[in-house]
C-alpha cells in the first residue's frame, strides 16, 4: 500500500532544523494534525519527566495534539477509567502506551484496550508497556505488542544493531548508536506478525533481543521499543527519531518505499 509523502511546511522545517539538526533531513511531516493519546503511569519510572520530554522531542514531526492520561499512582495494578467507554479510541489517531501495570490481569478490561487497537487504532509501545499485564494468563496484550517479555537484564549502555535498514522508520537512524544507560528487556518471543528493526546483545548470555520493531495487529500498525527506562533516553536524538518516525509510520504517514 502506498502512502503519499506530504512535504514539511516552512515553519515545521525550520523547527526541525533547530531542534534536531543532525536528523532534520529525515523528518516527515504533513498538513493534518495527529490526535494522540498518551497512557502513562504506574511503577518504576519518572512518567512526568518522560511525558514532557516525549512531547517536546516529537514537536518537529508534525502538529501532535496530545491527550495525556497519567493514572494508577506508583503501583503495579490499575484500571484506567477512560477504557470504560466502549468508544474510547474513536477520537484518537494513535495511542502511545508508556505505562507499567504488571499485575493487572482482568481479561475483559485488557480486551477493552486490545480490541480497539485490533479494529484499527495505531499504537506506539514504549519500555514497560511490554511488562504491563504481564501477570495475565492470556496473550491478547502480547499479540498486540508483537513481543512477549517478562524480565530484563541489568542497566547498561547497549550497542544497537539495525537489522532492517530499508524500513522507512530506520531512514536516518545511526548505524552505530549506543543507547543511554537503559534496561535490556529479554524478549522470549517475537510474534509472527512482527518484524525486528534493531537488536541489542545481552551482556549476560550473548543472546540478541529486538529493541525496536513493528507489528501488524488486526487492522492496526504498532511500533515498539523496549528502551525508555531512564529519562536520559527520552532526550536522546536517535531514540526520539525512531519513536517519531515510528509514530508517523503507525499512522500511515511515511512512504512505504523499501519496506
Tell me the pTM: 0.85
In the predicted structure, residue 6 carries a pLDDT above the cut 70: no
Counting every residue, how long is the chain? 259
Fold of 10-250: Rossmann fold (3.40.50)
Please give the pLDDT value at position 169. 98
Q: Round the average pLDDT of the chain to a whole number and report it.
A: 88
Q: How far apart are CA 238 and CA 235, in angstroms?
A: 9
Confidence of residue 32 (pLDDT cuts 50, 70, 90): confident
pLDDT given at position 17 = 38
- Kindly list the domain boundaries of the chain, sorted by start residue: 10-250
What pLDDT band is residue 7 in, cutting at 50, 70 and 90?
A: very low
The share of the chain scoring above pLDDT 90, in percent, equals: 81
Reported confidence tier of residue 220, pLDDT bands at 50, 70, 90? very high
* pLDDT score, position 103: 86
Amino acid at each position: 500500500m502506498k502512502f503519499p509523502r506530504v512535504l514539511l511546511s516552512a515553519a515545521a522545517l525550520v523547527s526541525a532544523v533547530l531542534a534536531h539538526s543532525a536528523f532534520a533531513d529525515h523528518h516527515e511531516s504533513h498538513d493534518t494534525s495527529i490526535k494522540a493519546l498518551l497512557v502513562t503511569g504506574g511503577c518504576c519510572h519518572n512518567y512526568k519527566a518522560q511525558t514532557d520530554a516525549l512531547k517536546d522531542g516529537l514537536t518537529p514531526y508534525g502538529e501532535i495534539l496530545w491527550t495525556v492520561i497519567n493514572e494508577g499512582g506508583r503501583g503495579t495494578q490499575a484500571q484506567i477509567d477512560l477504557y470504560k467507554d466502549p468508544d474510547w479510541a474513536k477520537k484518537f489517531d494513535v495511542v502511545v502506551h508508556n505505562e507499567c501495570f504488571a499485575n493487572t490481569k482482568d481479561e475483559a478490561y485488557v480486551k477493552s484496550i486490545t480490541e480497539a487497537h485490533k479494529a484499527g487504532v495505531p499504537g506506539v509501545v514504549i519500555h514497560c508497556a511490554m511488562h504491563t499485564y504481564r501477570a495475565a494468563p492470556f496473550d491478547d496484550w502480547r499479540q498486540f505488542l508483537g513481543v512477549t517479555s517478562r524480565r530484563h537484564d541489568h542497566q547498561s549502555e547497549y550497542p544497537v544493531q539495525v537489522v532492517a535498514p530499508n524500513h522507512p522508520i530506520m531512514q536516518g537512524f545511526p548505524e552505530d548508536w549506543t543507547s543511554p544507560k537503559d534496561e535490556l528487556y529479554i524478549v522470549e518471543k517475537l510474534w509472527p506478525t512482527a518484524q525486528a528493526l534493531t537488536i541489542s546483545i545481552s551482556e549476560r548470555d550473548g543472546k540478541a533481543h529486538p529493541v525496536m520493531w513493528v507489528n501488524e495487529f488486526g487492522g492496526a500498525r504498532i511500533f515498539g521499543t523496549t528502551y525508555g527506562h531512564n529519562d536520559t533516553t527520552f532526550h536522546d536524538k536517535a531514540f526520539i527519531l525512531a519513536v517519531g518516525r515510528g509514530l508517523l509510520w503507525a499512522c500511515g504517514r511515511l512512504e512505504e518505499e523499501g519496506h
